[in-house]
């Protein structure tokens, strides 16, 4: 692994992203608009918005990173550039690291905008500090990236890659406690929920919401998300083959 090549790769991926102005605008603006919409829907119940809006702050970067990573990497695989890169000094981890840095920057920018809008204009309130929310959102987005990387190996077209969303992203949204409290789900479903990493991102956010101080429970939940991101990255890197048929 070479740090120099990792940063060159990250620079290239960011440049690709910046050349696509429309996508940049969508990435930066859509989460804020959606959270504003949710806030208007829950107009009469600001305390409900405090928990739902907060969860969305971490969920959007996760979903966005999953989508853009799976599609960009699929393009690398099908467009021949991945094969070409595998004949250059670029290591697999350089490539994955480049993606993590580039899309991590994108996810962080998105989160800063969405969190600013939520805190300053939509009246979002948390007992704990905003930086902890930001940190949880960025770690969740890296998990999304790693999952997208892994999934791109199983799609042969962009259409298929999009179809993986309902399989890998939607269940985590439904079971993380956003639409229904986890302790009121069927027992077996709680077990499934326990196995999904985004559940722990939500638990960490709940800690920030209710405690003015950073708690040990928050660090524990956040480490679980980080560990899941690491495992998915290793699995994803394993799908990058230097030799193929």
Positions in the binding site for another protein (CB under 8 A): 5, 8, 11-12, 15-16, 19-20, 79-81, 83-84, 86-90, 242-245
Least CB distance to another protein at residue 190 (A): 44
Q: For the chain, state the CA radius of gyration.
A: 18
Least CB distance to another protein at residue 102 (A): 13
Least CB distance to another protein at residue 40 (A): 35
**Alpha helices per DSSP H over 20-129:** 21-41, 46-78, 81-86, 92-116
Least CB distance to another protein at residue 17 (A): 8
Q: Residue 71 or 174: which CB sits closer to another protein?
A: 71
Q: Residue 50 or 76: which CB sits closer to another protein?
A: 76
CB 63, CB 33: distance < 8 Å: no
Name the nearest CA neighbour of 176 among 118, 136, 129, 125. Answer: 136
CB 99, CB 145: distance < 8 Å: yes
Q: Residue 68 or 135: which CB sits closer to another protein?
A: 68
Q: Residue 190 or 239: which CB sits closer to another protein?
A: 239
- Residue environment code for 153-181, b if the CB has 16+ CB neighbours within 10 A, otherwise e: bebeeeeebeebeeebbeebbebbbbeee
Least CB distance to another protein at residue 187 (A): 47
Q: Residue 18 or 127: which CB sits closer to another protein?
A: 18
**CA 84 centroid distance within chain:** 28
d(CA 193, CA 187): 10
Residues 6+ apart with CB under 8 A from 241: 86
Least CB distance to another protein at residue 75 (A): 8
């Amino acid at each position: 692994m070479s740090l120099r090549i990792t940063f060159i790769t990250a620079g290239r991926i960011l440049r690709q992203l910046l050349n696509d102005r429309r996508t940049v605008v969508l990435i930066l603006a859509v989460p804020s608009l959606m959270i504003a919409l949710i806030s208007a829907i829950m107009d009469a119940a600001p305390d409900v918005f405090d928990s739902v809006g907060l969860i969305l702050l971490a969920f959007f970067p996760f979903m966005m990173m999953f989508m853009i990573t799976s599609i960009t990497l699929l393009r690398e695989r099908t467009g021949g550039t991945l094969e070409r890169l595998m004949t250059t000094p670029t290591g697999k981890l350089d490539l994955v690291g480049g993606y993590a840095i580039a899309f991590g920057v994108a996810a962080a920018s998105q989160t800063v905008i969405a969190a600013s809008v939520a805190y300053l204009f939509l009246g979002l309130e948390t007992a704990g500090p905003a930086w902890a929310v930001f940190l949880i959102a960025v770690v969740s987005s890296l998990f999304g990236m790693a999952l997208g990387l892994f999934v791109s190996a199983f799609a042969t077209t962009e259409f298929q890659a999009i179809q993986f969303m309902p399989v890998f992203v939607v269940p985590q949204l439904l079971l993380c406690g956003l639409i229904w409290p986890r302790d009121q789900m069927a027992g077996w479903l709680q077990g499934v929920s326990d196995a999904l990493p985004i559940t722990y991102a939500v638990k960490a956010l709940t800690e920030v919401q209710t405690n003015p101080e950073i708690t040990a429970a928050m660090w524990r939940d956040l480490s679980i998300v980080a560990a899941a991101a690491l495992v998915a990255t290793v699995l994803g890197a394993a799908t990058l083959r230097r030799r193929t048929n």
